[in-house]
Amino acid sequence: MFQIDPDTFMPFLVFSIPIIAIVGGITLSIVKSIGRQRIIELAQQERIAAIQRGVDVSKLPPLPSMAMDDDEMAVLGLSGAERDRRRAQGLMIGGMITAAAGVGILVFLLLVDPGDNVWAVGIIPLTVGTALLLSAWIVHPKGRGMDSGPRA
């Protein structure tokens, strides 16, 4: 039967985490770039179709750009308040998941080895999740006359 030696497995595990993070980041940026390019292609096709139907070019909205700026949601045609609400929602979801993972790690390690203070490792993702929740609260648009309920 195949047996895993902890002395050889731990270095592999330790080095695989940053490698996976780097590959994931590169993959994410490639997918994001392809998605932006597809949005621009669709906007160009829509513009060409409108011109063929005789719509005045000056009345058409400007084409989105491929530039990487802070206003990435402008490519989707979202207003500033809607963009801020989506950003806050993303931070809140990430914070909830990270905080829950921290609590899960903390409880798991506390139950597995109650004698040692290994459970304290769970405090790190718990505090990161709490910081994300705090930043979601800070970024959430306030006082812009925007209702937070679903649209009809």
- Which DSSP string do the residues of 24-77 spell out, in sequence order? HHHHHHHHHHHHHHHHHHHHHHHHHHHHHTT--GGGSPPPP-----S-GGGGGT
Residues recorded for the chain: 152
Same domain, 98 and 50: no
pLDDT in tens, 93-138: 999 999 999 999 889 888 888 778 888 888 999 999 999 999 988 8
Under a CB-based contact definition with an 8 Å cutoff, are residues 39 and 73 in contact? no
Q: In the listed set 70, 87, 108, which residue is the last one of a domain according to the structure?
A: 70
Same domain, 15 and 59: yes
Same domain, 51 and 91: no
For 90, the 3-state DSSP assignment is helix
Same domain, 94 and 47: no
How high is the pLDDT of residue 74? 57
Same domain, 24 and 64: yes
The number of distinct structural domains making up the chain is 2
Same domain, 61 and 85: no
Host domain of residue 50: 1-70
Q: What is the dihedral of CA 85, 62, 40, 24, to 10 degrees?
A: -40
How high is the pLDDT of residue 8? 74
Q: In the listed set 21, 51, 70, which residue is the last one of a domain according to the structure?
A: 70
Cα–Cα distance, 94 to 116 (Å, whole number): 29
pLDDT in tens, 6-23: 777 777 777 788 888 899
Confidence band for 79, pLDDT divided at 50, 70 and 90: low
pLDDT in tens, 30-62: 998 898 889 889 888 988 998 899 888 788 777
Same domain, 90 and 39: no
Q: Return the higher-pLDDT residue of 47 and 146.
A: 47
